[in-house]
Structure 1
Amino acid sequence: MGDRRALETQLAVVAGFENPQARLEQYPTPPDIAAHVVHFADLQGDVDGRTVVDLGTGTGMLALGAALRGPRRVVGVELDAAALDTARDNERRVGTTTPIHWIRGDATRSPLCVHSDGNSETTVLMNPPFGAQNGRRGADRGFLRTASELADVSYSIHNQGSRQFVESFAADEGGEVTHAFGATLTLDRQFDFHEQETRDLDTEVFRIRWT
């Protein structure tokens, strides 16, 4: 098992979105947060030897972080074809030898059919949209539903104050929040409506065990 700081350094080469789309809430997951989530998942035994699925992978940050920690395979699902092209370029930059499958599709209607077997269980990692844009309220609900269908365990990043919603949703789908911790995402200015060059966004990360 590697060091979290070393993982963050490896992920620093991952490029972000060339033309981010506000309607898809395409904000890159910073390397420090990705390293934190992946390292924590690895400590829980949720990466090594498993199938890891990154829903809404964007340019591949979480998927590539997981790929550096010895999973059986990694799958990145993303709706935006341009982002997937960047993810493939990032795979070459990072240099991981883990098999990674980049799939274009809607993470809320996942085209995947992943079954756990005696050799590998499934972990979902994701930084879903928070529903900040008009008409997108509750956008993370669909991602959680897909995670409940695919995974034995999932890790997801949500807006601060989401704990009650996430715990209630998990309970309704036969899951349980086993761990939760705060994380601050430092985001650079990407869209015209952003007034600051950088913004710190307080978030919460949840580990859910699905049954």
Structure 2
Amino acid sequence: RTPPELAAHLVHTADLQGDIDGRDVIDLGCGTGMLALGAALRGPRAVVGVDIDPAPLATARANERRVGSTSAVSWVRADATREPLGPDGDVTVVMNPPFGAQSGSEHADRAFLETTARIADVSYSIHNADSADFVESFAADNAGEVTHAFRAEFELPRQFEFHDEDTQVLDVEVFRIEWSG
């Protein structure tokens, strides 16, 4: 779950860059819809939230009713690492992909970036701190360029057996990438 403060900062930054209003916004791996719903409040042409897990999608739908967003959101149950749709026009992807920091799942975010490179002309994504070399290299190899980055804190509640504490604060980086592929 993307912390509300971080989601608000990411969406506000995207809006200030002109990357939401009048555009199609896709939230890959949307979970409970925090980024998609934030974007829906900023005047996009359309918003699509994609997640493979039906439980968070049900929560996202309930959250949409509570938020009363100005733009409807389409919630799609699909694998976000497989091109879920062929959007037409200006597309912004917002995402908080799996970090892939655990042994055996390094760079799990790569598959999300691969999908993004195919469908978006701009994206905003949250990654583990110190991922700049990986993200910049991936972008350069896939007709993209990191234009902005900022550091943030990400409070993660305990959800896996390898977590030792009830909450953990992670240092993360948010990257804006322009794709020309």
**TM-score scaled to structure 1, two decimals?**
0.83
1:94 matches 2:96: no
In the TM superposition, residue 196 of structure 1 has moved relative to its aligned partner by 1.3
Q: 1:13 matched to which residue of 2?
A: none
| Distance in structure 2 (CA, Å) of the matches to 1:89 and 1:61 | 12
For residues 39-74 of structure 1, give each alpha carbon's deviation from its aligned partner in whole angstroms, at most 9, with x where no partner exists: 000000000111000000001000000001111110
In the TM superposition, residue 104 of structure 1 has moved relative to its aligned partner by 0.6
For structure 1, the residue ranges without an aligned partner over 5 or more in a row are 1-27
1:166 matches 2:135: yes
Q: 1:180 aligns with which of 149, 152, 158?
A: 149
| Distance in structure 1 (CA, Å) of the matches to 2:88 and 2:138 | 22
1:206 matches 2:179: no
Q: 1:84 aligns with which of 38, 42, 57?
A: 57
1:128-147 equivalence runs, <5 A: 128-147=97-116
| Distance in structure 2 (CA, Å) of the matches to 1:123 and 1:81 | 23
SS of equivalent residue, structure 2 residue 171: strand
Q: CA RMSD in A?
A: 1.1
The amino acid that maps onto 1:187 is: L
Q: 1:48 aligns with which of 21, 38, 46?
A: 21
Q: Identity of paired residues, percent?
A: 66
1:62 matches 2:20: no
SS of equivalent residue, structure 2 residue 115: helix
| Distance in structure 2 (CA, Å) of the matches to 1:192 and 1:65 | 31
| C-alpha contact (below 8 Å) 2:15/2:21 kept by paired residues | yes
| Distance in structure 1 (CA, Å) of the matches to 2:156 and 2:97 | 15
In the TM superposition, residue 137 of structure 1 has moved relative to its aligned partner by 1.5
| Distance in structure 2 (CA, Å) of the matches to 1:171 and 1:125 | 19
| Distance in structure 2 (CA, Å) of the matches to 1:174 and 1:192 | 38
Q: 2:126 matched to which residue of 1?
A: 157
* Greater alpha carbon shift after TM alignment, 165-174 vs 188-197: 188-197
| C-alpha contact (below 8 Å) 2:43/2:70 kept by paired residues | no
| Distance in structure 2 (CA, Å) of the matches to 1:192 and 1:129 | 16
Q: 1:74 matched to which residue of 2?
A: 47
| Distance in structure 2 (CA, Å) of the matches to 1:109 and 1:133 | 22
Q: 1:189 aligns with which of 158, 161, 166?
A: 158
**TM-score scaled to structure 2, two decimals?**
0.96
| C-alpha contact (below 8 Å) 2:101/2:128 kept by paired residues | no
The amino acid that maps onto 2:4 is: P
The amino acid that maps onto 1:64 is: L
In the TM superposition, residue 110 of structure 1 has moved relative to its aligned partner by 2.3
Q: 1:107 matched to which residue of 2?
A: 80
| Distance in structure 2 (CA, Å) of the matches to 1:103 and 1:64 | 14
| Distance in structure 2 (CA, Å) of the matches to 1:83 and 1:140 | 19
For structure 2, the residue ranges without an aligned partner over 5 or more in a row are none
* Greater alpha carbon shift after TM alignment, 130-139 vs 148-157: 130-139
